[in-house]
Amino acid sequence: MKFGVVVFPGSNCDRDMQEALQNDLNQEVVMLWHKDKDISSFTTNDCIVLPGGFSYGDYMRCGAIARFSPMMQSVIEFANKGGKVLGVCNGFQVLCEAQLLPGVLLRNANQQFICKNVYLKGVGSDKALKIPIAHGEGRYFADQKTLEELEKNNQVIYHYCDENGNITAEANPNGTTNNIAGIRNAAGNVFGMMPHPERASSNALGNIDGQIILKTLLMNK
C-alpha cells in the first residue's frame, strides 16, 4: 500500500505521520503539496492522509480554507471513487468541512487547548489504547438524526474511555458527543479521528498503540 501525506501551510504533524508510516510500519510514503493536484499514481488500494496541525493558520473555522485547496479537490474525487482517506485532528476537521464525513468539530467544552495522553477503544473491542490528543476544537457534534445513523451503520469507530475500557463522562476530554473520538463514512473508506496515532507508533517513544490503529484502519483490505 502506498500512502500520500498532504502538506498544508500550517501542517505540523505531516512529518510525524511520514515517520510513523515509513519507518515504523515500513510503508511507501509520498508527500503531497497542497497546491498540486496530481494524485494519478495512487489507486483505490492506496491511502491519502490529512495530518494534524493548523492548516492555513485556522483563520476561519478549522479546516474551512484547506477544504478548497487544489489538492483537496483531488482528494475528494479520490474518496468518492473508493480510495481510502484518513484525517487526523486538523485532518478530521478538513474532512468534515469537505462533507466527506458528517458533523462538525467545535471548541472544547472547557474552552482550552488540550494536550495529553488519553484512552480510546474501537467499537467491538475491549482493549483501551493510549493515544495522545492535542487540539482546541475537538468536540464532535452532529444532530440527533445523524448520530442515530452513525450508530445504526457502525460508523463510530472510536470512543474515549478510561484505562480499563469504560466509556464514562470522566474519560471524555473535550465534551464530545457520546464520547466519540473517531468516525468513518457510510462506505467505509474515509476515516476521521482527533487523537494522534502517529505520535504513539515508535518504540523510541515508549508507546506503539498507534500502530494498532493505523494497521486496523488502513491496512485491512
Q: How far is 70 from 129, CA to CA, in rounded Å?
A: 35
Beta-strand relationship, 2-7 and 47-50: parallel
Cβ contacts of 24 within 8 Å, gap of 6 or more: 201, 202, 208, 211
Q: Is 163 a catalytic residue?
A: no
Mapping DSSP to helix (H, G, I), strand (E, B) and coil, where does residue 115 land? Answer: strand
Locate all alpha helices (DSSP H) within 81-170, ordered by sequence: 90-97, 144-152
Hunting for cell 468516525 — which residue is that?
Answer: 183
Which residue from 154, 134, 129 is spatially nearest to 212, judged by alpha carbons? 129
Task: Select which of 47, 89, 96, 161 is catalytic.
Answer: 89
Which of the following is catalytic: 96, 97, 137, 198?
198
Does 89 participate in catalysis according to the annotation? yes
Closest CA to 184 of 72, 91, 102, 127: 102
Active site residue 19: no
Helix, coil or strand: residue 87 = strand
- Give me the active site residues, please: 89, 196, 198
